Amino acid sequence: MMMGFRETCTVFLVLLLELIHGYDIDLPARGKKNIPSTLDGPFEPVTIPLDVSLRGLALDLPDIDPRVRRRVKGFEPEQISVSLSATHDSVWISWITGESQIGYNITQLDPKTVGSIVRYGTSKYPLSHEATGYSLVYSQLYPFEGLQNYTSGIIHHVRLTGLKPKKRYYYRCGDPSKAAMSDTYSFKTMPVSGPKSYPKRIAIVGDLGLTYNTTTTISHVTSNKPDLFLLIGDVTYANLYLTNGTGSDCYSCSFPDTPIHETYQPRWDYWGRFMQPLISQVPMMVVEGNHEIEKQVGNQTFVSYSSRFAFPSKESGSHSTMYYSFDAGGIHFIMLGAYVAYDKSADQYKWLEKDLAEVNRSRTPWLVATWHPPWYSSYKAHYREVECMRVEMEELLYSHGVDIVFNGHVHAYERANRVYNYTLDPCGPVYITVGDGGNREKMAIEHADEPGNCPEPSTTPDEFIGGFCATNFTNGPAAGKFCWDRQPDYSAFRESSFGHGILEVKNETWALWTWYRNQDSLSETGDQIYIVRQPDKCHLQYKSNTCGFAAI
């Protein structure tokens, strides 16, 4: 079969890279499957028709399910998890001891009653190193009668340092003085940062929750054997429950008569127990979503989110759990907060400027950003909801050459063509929405470009800017309108199905992105593409030759 011009150029570029740099890339022209690359784009928009049979099973696991029940005794550790620090030589181990309480009269546990100790080493016996950390207890309190309050078990965070790259470490956590140590678990450290050094597979999931669909998603993620797990906001959906445990399928229409929106905090404990088999051995990095707001007494928000997870905030120069950064081999990840001030005068924006300025692309060629609500989504749900964030931050991310952006929030899958300021741009990031982890609120199925689905601009106020940023487009195919009247050019592929994604960075310019649908076997792919960086063309603005890549 004869190849087209773009395919010929793609193969020629790969062969040239292999000759010069010794890269080995499994490409469609040389391998088993015709996998497109972003060099072949921009692509004509594709919408996969809705499969109505996939609407089922968006039901939460009940509290009697053995996977969410407390199985430890006394101060034995549970809900054990691993998260990364800013660099490869350090990780955090987190866990909970003691029982949480919910009711009208609760008494906090004393964190000083049990130690925070991790014993670890490169072999199971003996665990030759020991590290100590800190512990805390948080509460979810309501200033009204009739709402039950909550106080957590004792949450422990211990940072291990001086670790070697790409090495498996074994560990036990707990308090040996109380005969309350965990079983032995293990994790593998990230590779050292460098242009040819990457974790093999990174799982990306958003809007996970704790439904029967969630169990399928996590089963598939586990089968893919990731080295790192990214959760792009909306973790447990505990705020879909009243404090008496009564649930709802919809946040926006839930409990309109309650004086403050409630949240049933034991769902966090259920989630931590269910997830432990995966995240006790695969590092998980998480960023906040709207379902983590969980307002309580004193207008406090995000208390559970900020307490239960360890974040490399201090290590990455951030003063907040809402935004931070870290390296995973040759990838620099930036985790941004859409629910904390992000305008150009805000601390987050100033931190982002500094973080981007310090990125060394010869050491971490790939730059990946994540936050919860998408800027580029064609679904009716949350359409242009964070336009103010885009207006404030897009140029900064674009000018520093961000390669990929991952978002959640919209409960569907969508991959964009490279885009900047709603215009197709070969140097813009590839935006990917993966808010289809399996949560209780079910899938988003309506598109804003379909008749009768375009929302009113007045539905998009921004609490941090104090006004409206989403207005009718002033140019392009949708000029004079708030929505396109067809699938937008920036939307390359969209489908309403639950699933997860796997990112495999092959070298400093090629990465394979694969999206898996829950209803398929792992041998099938819902969407797959090579994402190709062109640093010379896009960042140094060298003149390109006729094949569309920079002359060498």
Q: Name the 3-class secondary structure at 322.
A: coil
Q: Beta-strand (E) ranges in 241-344?
A: 284-287, 324-328, 331-335
Angle at 421 between CA 416 and CA 422, to 5 degrees: 50
SS3 category, 500 = strand
Query: Is 382 known to be catalytic?
Result: yes
Q: Around Cβ 157, how many Cβ atoms within 10 Å? A: 20
Q: Are 114 and 75 in contact (CB under 8 A)?
A: yes
Distance CA 306, CA 328 (A): 22
* Other residues' Cβ atoms within 10 Å of the Cβ of residue 203: 26
Helix (H) or strand (E) holding 387: helix 387-399
Q: What residues pair up with 379 in beta bridges, in sequence order? A: 447
3-state class of 47 per DSSP?
A: strand
In 3D space, the residue among 252, 316, 322, 339 whose CA is nearest the CA of residue 287 turns out to be 322
CB 75 within 8 A of CB 178: yes
Asked if 409 and 372 count as a contact pair (C-beta separation under 8 A), the reply is yes
Question: For 57, left (φ over 0), alpha (ψ -120 to 50), or beta?
Answer: left
Residue of 156, 220, 291, 382 marked catalytic = 382
CA triplet 344, 310, 274: central angle to 5 degrees?
A: 120
Q: CA 238 to CA 241: how far, in whole Å?
A: 6
Give the Cα separation of 423 and 420 in Å (integer).
5
What positions carry a catalytic annotation?
A: 382
